[in-house]
Amino acid sequence: MKTLLMFAAAAAATPAPKPALAPSEIVAAAPKGDWVAIEPSDLLVMDFASGKRVVIQLMPPPFSQGWVGNIRELAAAHWWDGTSVNRVQDNYVVQWGDATEKKVLPSGLVTVAESEYETDVVNEPIRRPVEIQYNQNPFVVKLLRLDSYSGRAGFSAGWPIAVSFSTKARLKSPAYWPVHCYGMVGVGRDMPPNTGTGAELYTVIGHAPRHLDRNIALVGRVISGIENLSSLPRGTGPLGFYEKPEERTTIKSIRIGTDVADLPRFEYLSTESGSFAKYADARANRRDPFFIRPAGGADICNIPVPVRVVK
Query: Under rule CB under 8 A, which residues in 249-268 are in contact with a copy of itself?
Result: none
Q: Could you give the CA distance from residue 47 to residue 257 in angstroms, rounded to a whole number? A: 12
Beta bridge partners of 94: 88, 203
> Is 58 or 204 the residue whose CB approaches a copy of itself more closely?
204
Least Cβ distance, residue 257 to a copy of itself (angstroms): 22
226 contacts a copy of itself (rule: CB under 8 A): yes
Least Cβ distance, residue 67 to a copy of itself (angstroms): 13
231 contacts a copy of itself (rule: CB under 8 A): yes
82, 245, 274, 297: residue in contact with a copy of itself (rule CB under 8 A): 297
196 contacts a copy of itself (rule: CB under 8 A): yes
189 contacts a copy of itself (rule: CB under 8 A): yes
50 contacts a copy of itself (rule: CB under 8 A): no
> Is 125 or 296 the residue whose CB approaches a copy of itself more closely?
296
3-state secondary structure 132-185: EEECCEEEEEEEEEEECCCEEEEEECCEEEEEECCCHHHHHCCEEEECCCCCEE
102, 128, 244, 311: residue in contact with a copy of itself (rule CB under 8 A): 102
Query: Which amino acid belongs to residue 224?
Result: S
Select from 159, 218, 222 the least CA-distant residue to 189.
218
97 contacts a copy of itself (rule: CB under 8 A): yes
Q: Could you give the CA distance from residue 138 to residue 62 in angstroms, rounded to a whole number? A: 11
> Is 28 or 239 the residue whose CB approaches a copy of itself more closely?
239
239 contacts a copy of itself (rule: CB under 8 A): yes
Least Cβ distance, residue 150 to a copy of itself (angstroms): 8
Show the beta-strand stretches assigned E in the chain: 35-38, 43-48, 53-58, 84-89, 93-97, 130-134, 137-147, 151-156, 159-164, 175-178, 184-187, 201-204, 218-224, 249-256, 265-269, 307-310
DSSP 308: E
Scanning 53-61, 182-190, 258-266, 272-280 for contacts with a copy of itself by CB under 8 A, the matching segment is 182-190
Q: Could you give the CA distance from residue 106 to residue 110 in angstroms, rounded to a whole number? A: 10
223 contacts a copy of itself (rule: CB under 8 A): no
Scanning 50-58, 134-142, 199-207, 242-250 for contacts with a copy of itself by CB under 8 A, the matching segment is 199-207
> Is 96 or 139 the residue whose CB approaches a copy of itself more closely?
96
7, 246, 261, 262: residue in contact with a copy of itself (rule CB under 8 A): 7
Length of the chain: 311
301 contacts a copy of itself (rule: CB under 8 A): yes
274 contacts a copy of itself (rule: CB under 8 A): no
232, 256, 263, 277: residue in contact with a copy of itself (rule CB under 8 A): 232
Query: Which amino acid belongs to residue 14?
Result: T
243 contacts a copy of itself (rule: CB under 8 A): no
Residues between 275 and 294 with contacts to a copy of itself, criterion CB under 8 A? 283-284, 286, 289-293
181 contacts a copy of itself (rule: CB under 8 A): yes
Q: Could you give the CA distance from residue 80 to residue 194 in angstroms, rounded to a whole number? A: 21
Select from 249, 304, 223, 219 the least CA-distant residue to 88.
249
Show the beta-strand stretches assigned E in 39-105: 43-48, 53-58, 84-89, 93-97
CA atoms within 13 A on the CB side of 137: 9
